[in-house]
Amino acid sequence: MKNILQRIHAFSVKLLIVWFILIILVLDYLISLIYYPLSNIINDTFYSNNQGFFSLPLWLQIVLSIPSAYFITILHLWLIFKIFRHFKYFINKNFIIIIISSFLLCLYSLFLGSYTGIIITFLSGLLLGYSHIVAEEKKLSPVLIVTIIIFLEMVIENSISYTFYK
């Protein structure tokens, strides 16, 4: 199993960043597909207090997604990586840092009252944390790469919501 993960990681690092971002977006979309079946299984309801945001025009939602994506990247990924890498124990333990940052990211869903959202956000956080590591190994800005990924996720989600649920 470890050999397979090392091969996937080596492939990810060699991949062009545009293709890597597209693969992460597809994987994140596949993760989000399990939301509704999983919420039906555990009888979870979703409460969103963002109805005011979704009533805005689509162009304004997209513009507002830029600082939001940047804030999420800085707070939940970059800052967590910076803090934990100051401790000797966590210097070469990227997987543990990714799990911690994913856990902190999924706490937001807890405030929305969605237990399914916690699972989905945790899994998406693992992808974002992994993207942070790959961007570092490619000598690119992890903040920029992860912000682009989160921004594109938000644009896709807002466009779908605006198109089908307005």
pLDDT in tens, 10-33: 999 999 999 999 999 999 989 888
Confirm whether 90 is domain-assigned: yes
The count of structural domains within the chain is: 1
Confirm whether 11 is domain-assigned: no
Burial of 103 (0-12, 13-18, 19+ CB in 10 A): middle
Tokens of 48: 């969103």
Please choose, from the candidates 139, 158, 137, 130, the residue with its C-alpha nearest in 3D space to the C-alpha of residue 21. 130
Q: How confident is the model over 114-148, as pLDDT tens digits?
A: 777 788 889 999 999 999 999 999 999 999 999 99
- Domain interval for residue 47: 32-165
Burial of 24 (0-12, 13-18, 19+ CB in 10 A): buried
What mean pLDDT is predicted for residues 35-59?
66
Confirm whether 115 is domain-assigned: yes
Q: What is the pLDDT of residue 53?
A: 64
Sorted by sequence, the CB contacts under 8 Å of residue 120 that are 6+ apart come out as: 31, 32, 34, 35, 38, 109
Confirm whether 117 is domain-assigned: yes
Long-range Cβ pairs for the range 10-13 (8 Å, 24+): 12/130, 12/134, 13/134, 13/137, 13/138
Please choose, from the candidates 49, 48, 34, 46, the residue with its C-alpha nearest in 3D space to the C-alpha of residue 115. 46
Confirm whether 26 is domain-assigned: no
- The SS3 of residue 16 is coil
What Å distances lie between residue 123 and 49, 85, 89, 98, CA to CA? 22, 22, 24, 11
Confirm whether 154 is domain-assigned: yes
Q: How confident is the model over 74-112, as pLDDT tens digits?
A: 988 889 999 998 888 888 888 999 999 999 888 876 766
Sorted by sequence, the CB contacts under 8 Å of residue 76 that are 6+ apart come out as: 101, 104, 105, 125, 128
Confirm whether 16 is domain-assigned: no
Confirm whether 150 is domain-assigned: yes
Cα–Cα distance for residue pair 20/18, rounded to 1 Å: 5
